[in-house]
Amino acid sequence: MSSFAIHWPEVTASNGLRLLAILLIALILIRILKAASKLIIKIAASPTRSAQAREQQTRTLAAVLYSAGSKIIWAIAILTALPEFGISVTPVAAFAGLGSLALGFGAQSLVSDVITGFYIVLEDQYVVGDTIQVGTTIGRVEHLTLRRTVVRDPSGALVTIANGEIRIVSNLSRDWAQIFVDVALSAERPLNPAMEALEAAAAELRGDAAWAPALMDGPRVLGLQSFDRNGAVIRLQTRTAPNRQDEVGRELRRRIQVEFQRRAIPLSDVQRIEWKAAPAEQAEATPPAQTRRN
């Protein structure tokens, strides 16, 4: 230690310029990498969803490449600077090799995360800003790297998911979304007045220009979904823009209630009005786009 302390001023004086050069070169390469990553970004030329999605995809890819590239540059810069302090790189490289071999057996999950993250970005399975479902977790993607995906769930919590754990992911922000609204009526009441009221409520929402950007098809009355001694269930279906199914469902239920009151249909006869997710077994329903990976 005392020998190193004695030679420390000499080392600083003789190698300071080379250390400064290494730092400057690393900073220049970082700037070049940042500029090159920005070239990957394709700015949306139109307000269409496909153009916006393409821009978000390229932004995510650029961010991932910049993050990985900058780490590599700094690692090389540190290894290059070590000899200037009298530290041989050869033992460090040998130690790093042994360490990587040891970690290789215990870091298989990390390798799996990185490989899966690469394919997520390359295949455009989802990007930052998309709403996805992984298992029981649903949320908006707030951060994406080669190792992890961070989503914010409906309660506001940030959920971190290792990319290697993702086997089936549903992207709820692509193309369109779909909802069903079921209206359960008393079994003793005739269906025709209620059907007419539902048709009127659906037509009113379809014709509202303020809701036109959120609607892609419907709402429309599909008809009698089920009937037994407990009551009759009439189903309505609506296909909406991505991520807008909840607000459309709330507005549709509100208009149904208003229309029933307008037609003096007793609300005591309406057992419930509920929202249902698009069931996969329904012939009229096509579920939102899913990405599956074996």
- DSSP 8-state secondary structure symbol assigned to residue 219: E
Percent of the chain with pLDDT over 90: 2
Strand partners, 141: 151
170 three-class SS = strand
CA–chain centroid gap for 148, Å, is: 12
Q: Give the pLDDT score at 49.
A: 60
pLDDT average, residue stretch 272-277: 56
- Higher-pLDDT residue of 163 and 16 is 163
- Higher-pLDDT residue of 55 and 98 is 55
Instruction: Please state the domain extents for the chain.
Output: 2-106, 127-171, 177-277
**What is the torsional sign of CA 32, 71, 131, 210?**
negative
> What residue has token string 């932004």?
59
**What is 127-171's CATH number?**
2.30.30.60
279 three-class SS = coil
For the chain, what's the residue count?
A: 294
pLDDT average, residue stretch 233-246: 85
Q: Which two tokens stand for residue 170?
A: 């549903």
Element (H, E) at 61: helix 49-81
Domain with residues 177-277, CATH architecture = 2-Layer Sandwich (3.30)
Q: Which among 184, 247, 261 is positioned nearest to 219, based on CA atoms?
A: 247
Write phi, then psi, for 178 (nearest 5 degrees). Answer: -145, 145
CA–chain centroid gap for 180, Å, is: 23
CA–chain centroid gap for 1, Å, is: 53
Looking only at Cα atoms, what is the longest distance across the chain?
100
pLDDT average, residue stretch 271-280: 52
pTM assigned to the model: 0.52
Summarize pLDDT for 124-169 with one digit per residue, the tens: 788 888 888 888 888 888 888 878 899 998 888 889 999 888 888 8
- DSSP 8-state secondary structure symbol assigned to residue 289: P
Q: How many CA atoms lie within 13 A of 19 on its CB side?
A: 13
Q: Which two tokens stand for residue 77?
A: 């810069």
Q: Is the pLDDT of residue 83 over 50?
A: yes
Give the integer Cα–Cα distance in Å for 111 and 197.
Answer: 58
Q: Give the pLDDT score at 3.
A: 45
Alpha helices, DSSP H only, in 132-272? 191-206, 245-262
